[in-house]
Amino acid sequence: MSSPASGSFDPDSTLGALLVGVLASYVLFGITTNQVYVYTSRFPNDSCKVKMLVAAVWLFELAHVLCIGHTLYILAVSDFGHPASFESIPASLGASTVFNGLIAMCVQGFFAHRIYRLSKQLYIPLFCWTLSLLFLAASTVAFVTGYRTTQFTKYEVQWGWLLDALWTISAVDDLIISASLVFWFLRRRDTSQPSVALVDKLIAWTIETGAVTSAAAILNLICFTMMKTNFIWIAWYVVTARLYSNSFLASLNSRETLRKMNDTPRSLPYPVYPSNLGVDSATTFQSTRTLPTNQLLSC
């Protein structure tokens, strides 16, 4: 980022971009909180493991929004009238990368486990879990190096490659997870109309959520590479964590909609949600005949 003190400071593409990103992130955090409320209201019989994962994601989200809110306050209020301060990296911005990594790891791990429950194979899930851990490790290193470097210009020169790698890992992981889920949903698809409609809905949701999170990571990479003299890349970054958590919670809460789609007197030839995670099968699908419920929407 070029030095603001040199006269090239542009408040619209720096502070303005950060403000828009933080406000959008806060709106999405409100949606996340509402989804958590919906989840706790509709699925009280889910296992402690699922509930703890939901709670952890929300707490990481809360910590993340506090960090980016503090960053905005420092740059817009505490350092008001001092454009040169925009060269400094607020510690709270660096800390937010760790919480972003934790959120992504939880959500990507959740969907990777769903792949395992569908495929009964460990190769792709293990690869996805490894990428998630690499993303968290890279996020932690980004925080430590940012704390030590303190200046954006120096950081971009010395550690810009780390951010490139971080967003590349995230995009690749999201694309692999989405493609794998679509593949295994198609494998489970039979020719009966209710089942086809159900699986088609799952495929559409998988593509939509995977496309959103992977596109956000790619946009982060493009903006950071092409526009290092402003904060537009940071604006995209502060929104990304909200996209992960909302896709995760939407997946859990969608069981009610899918149950209604499947309210026909028939039995599916495959299970629907993982019984080993303690997800309440009574809240997933009802049928006038026996319906195994532990795999198609596996966690």
Residue 4 within a domain: no
Residue 47 and residue 51: Cα distance in Å, rounded?
A: 6
**128-156 residue pLDDT tens:** 999 999 999 999 999 999 888 878 888 88
- pLDDT over 70 percentage in the chain: 79
Residue 266 within a domain: yes
**272-289 residue pLDDT tens:** 444 444 445 444 444 333
Residue 297 within a domain: no
Residue 236 and residue 166: Cα distance in Å, rounded?
A: 14
Domain assignment of residue 122, given as a range: 9-283
- Rounded to two decimals, the pTM is 0.82
Residue 1 within a domain: no
Name the nearest CA neighbour of 176 among 206, 198, 204, 200: 206
Given a cut of 90, whether residue 59 has pLDDT beyond it is yes
The CATH number of the domain where 80 resides is what?
1.20.1070
Residue 3 within a domain: no
Given a cut of 80, whether residue 115 has pLDDT beyond it is yes
Residue 146 within a domain: yes
Residue 61 within a domain: yes
**234-280 residue pLDDT tens:** 888 999 889 999 999 998 988 877 776 666 544 444 344 444 444 45
79-100 per-residue burial string, b: 16 or more CB within 10 A, e: under 16: beeebeebbebbbbbbbbbbbb
Total of domains in the chain: 1
Residue 93 within a domain: yes
Given a cut of 60, whether residue 61 has pLDDT beyond it is yes
